[in-house]
Amino acid sequence: MGQTLAEKLIARAAGKDSVKPGETVTAQVDLAMMHDSSGPRRFEPILERLGAKVWDPDKIVLVSDHWVPAVDAQSAQILDQTRRWAFANDVKAFYDMVGICHVVLPQGGHLKPGMFVVGGDSHSTTGGAFGCYMFGVGSTDMAGVLVTGETWIRVPESIRIEWKGKLGPGVCAKDINLALCKALGLGGAEYRTVEYTGELIDDLTMEERMTLSNMAAELGAQAGLIAPDQTTASYIRDAGGDPGEIDPWQSDADAEYFASHTFDGSALEPLVAAPHSPANTAPASSYEGIKIDQAYIGACTGAKLADLRMAAEVLEGRQVASRSRLLVAPASRQDMMAAQDDGTLSKLMAAGAVMMPTGCGACAGFGGGVLHENEVCISSTSRNFQGRMGAQSSKVYLGSPYSVAAAAVAGEIRDPREFLNGS
């Protein structure tokens, strides 16, 4: 019987010819990614207690993105400890305040199809877009990896998610995510692995594929895989990395899945998730009239170059509504510079956007841009759990960068297609 991509990736890391769902194996870790919040400040005391050194500093990517820039003595301490640990342990791939880990990692050319990667963050599923088995772990698990270079994994069943058709104007990967959260339910994958496939996925850019794999976390999947192809290889080459082989990292035609779902992207319209769950999703048009105080374009999910361009498409020649505000925190310095070069930043700022530092920002209630009691926000981020972006009574709607920009202009939630040229 054939194997799924997940089974092939885990088998390789476990040094086996094949693995079966349900089996627990020990896997060698090719790369460990961590950030300031889950990183040294959490595991340095553990390493000290164990009297252990890191197994291989060249297999570590450390990114300060959560508490940046420091806003008080506590966050400054966290960032200082992160830097000191990176220097003391000779971690060369240390990215300090230049972007969000899930975006910086591929932009730095660190990912290669076939790798087994752990990340100290739940949205580590993003790496699955590159045909890597990448998943999130907590800091103690990470300490175990840093000491031993390996970790245990129970081989998950796979869920095949096929997308047919083509996305219409004003519809993007974020809308696919929200549709999937509704169809499968929050956590509906129950820690299985999802594999995205089909002609629509083949057509997506790497940035859009990253957005898709990113929110596998909201589906409750351990990993969100997309088999690598020429789009993957050319992205990695452009990032200065080595794409390696692509052919071994495809699911077999006779592989066995826990479930298979097929969706038609041509029928998809812009979606919005209402408070307080990404699965609480309905067409953007059905929320028309809901007034917003803040529109937020940010996070690994929603502020890459492609996302900034989507927002600019809506905002060009328009102004943010007088009683609303628009905050933009680009996902990385590289994205910010590219957006400067192609005029995207000018369009955002001319419309009245407030530019924020690159980093995780308000997405998880860190950094600037958090909400007061009863404020309403529409956000291109991934989670709208109660109180996550600030005050307990604040309300967060999730939407694509198109939908967030449209709401910023209208002062209320609208179908973004009303604001796109030619529609």
Partner 1 sequence: MSGEGGAAWVFGENIDTDQLAPGGTLKGSIEEIAKHCLVRVNPSFASEVKPGDFVVGGRNFGIGSSREQAAQALHHHGVAAVIAPSFGGIFYRNALNFGLLVVECPDAGRIGEGDRLTLDPVKGEVKNLTNGESYACQPVPAHLLEIVEAGGLVPYLEAIRS
Q: What are the residue ranges of helices labelled H in 61-172?
A: 73-88, 101-107, 139-148
Instruction: Name the residue nearer to partner 1 (CB basis): 72 or 242.
Output: 72
d(CA 412, CA 289): 5
Could you tell me the smallest distance in angstroms from the CB atom of residue 258 to partner 1?
14
Could you tell me the smallest distance in angstroms from the CB atom of residue 417 to partner 1?
31
Could you tell me the smallest distance in angstroms from the CB atom of residue 191 to partner 1?
3
d(CA 167, CA 225): 20
Could you tell me the smallest distance in angstroms from the CB atom of residue 381 to partner 1?
12
Q: What Cα–Cα distance (Å) separates residue 167 from each residue in 291, 302, 305, 381, 399?
A: 28, 18, 19, 20, 16
Residues at the interface with partner 1 (CB under 8 A): 24, 37-38, 42, 46, 49-50, 52, 67, 72, 74-75, 78, 119-122, 124, 136-141, 143-144, 147-148, 152, 186-187, 190-191, 220, 222, 277, 364-366, 370, 383, 385-388, 390, 392
Could you tell me the smallest distance in angstroms from the CB atom of residue 375 to partner 1?
15
Strands (E), 36-174: 60-64, 93-96, 116-119, 133-136, 150-154, 158-164
**Is 413 exposed, middle or buried, given 0-12, 13-18 or 19+ CB atoms closer than 10 A?**
buried
Instruction: Name the residue nearer to partner 1 (CB basis): 180 or 409.
Output: 180
Cα three-residue angle 98-231-313, rounded to 5 degrees: 60
d(CA 336, CA 339): 5
Report which residue type is found at 9.
L
Instruction: Name the residue nearer to partner 1 (CB basis): 5 or 78.
Output: 78
Instruction: Name the residue nearer to partner 1 (CB basis): 222 or 281.
Output: 222
Instruction: Name the residue nearer to partner 1 (CB basis): 147 or 355.
Output: 147
Strand 259-264 and strand 271-273: pairing?
unpaired
Could you tell me the smallest distance in angstroms from the CB atom of residue 196 to partner 1?
18
Instruction: Name the residue nearer to partner 1 (CB basis): 395 or 414.
Output: 395
Question: For 291, which DSSP code?
Answer: B
| Residues with Cβ within 8 Å of residue 158, at least 6 apart in sequence | 4, 5, 6, 7, 21, 192, 193, 194, 195, 251, 255, 257, 258
Could you tell me the smallest distance in angstroms from the CB atom of residue 394 to partner 1?
12
Could you tell me the smallest distance in angstroms from the CB atom of residue 361 to partner 1?
11
Strands (E), 189-280: 193-197, 224-226, 259-264, 271-273
| Residues with Cβ within 8 Å of residue 342, at least 6 apart in sequence | 309
In contact, 63 and 362? CB cutoff 8 Å:
no
Instruction: Name the residue nearer to partner 1 (CB basis): 1 or 73.
Output: 73
Could you tell me the smallest distance in angstroms from the CB atom of residue 383 to partner 1?
7
Strand, helix or coil at 217?
coil
Instruction: Name the residue nearer to partner 1 (CB basis): 55 or 168.
Output: 55
Instruction: Name the residue nearer to partner 1 (CB basis): 57 or 138.
Output: 138
